[in-house]
Amino acid sequence: MIKTFVTALLTGAAVASVSMACETTLRSSDTHADGYPTVAAVEAMGDMLKERTDGRLCIEVFHSSQLGQEKDTIEQTQFGVIDMNRVSLGPFNNIIPATQVPSLPYIFRSVKHMNTVMDGEIGDEILAAFEGYDLVGLAFYDSGARSFYNSQHPINSIEDLAGLKFRVQQSDLFVDMVSALGANATPMPFGEVYSGIQTGVIDGAENNWPSYESTGHFEVAKYYTLDQHLIVPEVLVMSKTAFDKLSAEDQAIVRQAAKDSVQIMRELWIAREAVSEQLVRDAGSEIVTDIDKQPFIDAMVPVYEKYITSPELVDLVARIQAVE
């Protein structure tokens, strides 16, 4: 079923939806444009919900930041103004300390390592941490690896970052990460990055292939170096207010449909990464792939020391690193 859905999306064929009216439509926020893998995956979850609840529950995805930038939509989800939200863990760092650990630079060896950790009991522990913040953590999605891009010159070594101004997500951890690499960080909403680079307020930003491409950032920052400093999971959360209104049966259906959407998202993600990479290469971006990551990893020692301060967090880092 998942394969059929993904194939239908990729080929642009219409996806059959269940033709029943919905009693409750959950409003879900996403910063990305229509068709982006996260948006499509939450829509797929909505189709599952509609079918599995006989039309009691549906989802409407408000894509393209229609409900606001991530930091603001997180607050609105906590207040119950927005029912669901698909967000990167980055903007949660200053709110929920447990989200800092899977957001640490180079904590994951690969996307596969990240998925294994977040699909397992460590992921469940981190999802549970959202409950203390008026949110229900439903599932983790992929977002590949984030790397630096800028408008000024190619980055061939850590020294080349010196003095450049990079936008980061609104997370103190990421500000410290960029400072530790010798560059300057400016926390800024995603939607302001393009004009920020274009007007020279910042020299660049950092993100994965699909976001670098879908935002058009490659048009204004053509030097992209695959240092892959972050493999940050994304999370699908629900407002606790909206969740508590559901029957126990429907809560279980929501949780299961969210988990079932993960595989759909991953397949769409892998396909989109390839398309985005090709697009930006064709457009003339200069990509540095053979960067020595060790100096970047070494530079993160003070960042780990600053954020991993309790025995519980030290243990969590060690447990993540021990996962094969």
Residue ranges binding ligand GTR (CB under 6 A): 31, 70, 87-88, 90, 143, 169, 190, 207-208, 211, 234
Residue 57 or 280 with smaller CB distance to ligand GTR: 280
Residue 215 or 239 with smaller CB distance to ligand GTR: 215
Q: Copy the structure tokens of residue 234.
A: 């994304």
Total residues belonging to the chain: 324
CA–CA–CA angle 120, 50, 132 (5° rounding): 45
Count CA atoms within 13 Å of residue 22 on its CB side. 17
Under a CB-based contact definition with an 8 Å cutoff, are residues 271 and 12 in contact? no
Residue 148 or 190 with smaller CB distance to ligand GTR: 190
Residue 53 or 261 with smaller CB distance to ligand GTR: 261
Q: How far is the CB of 146 from ligand GTR (least distance, A)?
A: 7
| Burial profile 149-183: b = 16 or more Cβ within 10 angstroms, e = fewer | bbbeeebeebebbeebbbbbbbbebbbbbbebbeb
Q: How far is the CB of 103 from ligand GTR (least distance, A)?
A: 11
Q: Copy the structure tokens of residue 28.
A: 């879900």
Residue 190 or 307 with smaller CB distance to ligand GTR: 190
Q: How far is the CB of 288 from ligand GTR (least distance, A)?
A: 20
Q: How far is the CB of 212 from ligand GTR (least distance, A)?
A: 9
Q: How far is the CB of 259 from ligand GTR (least distance, A)?
A: 19
The sign of the torsion formed by the CA atoms of 6, 9, 15, 18 equals positive
Q: Could you tell me which of 104, 94, 117, 70 has the C-alpha nearest to residue 231?
A: 104
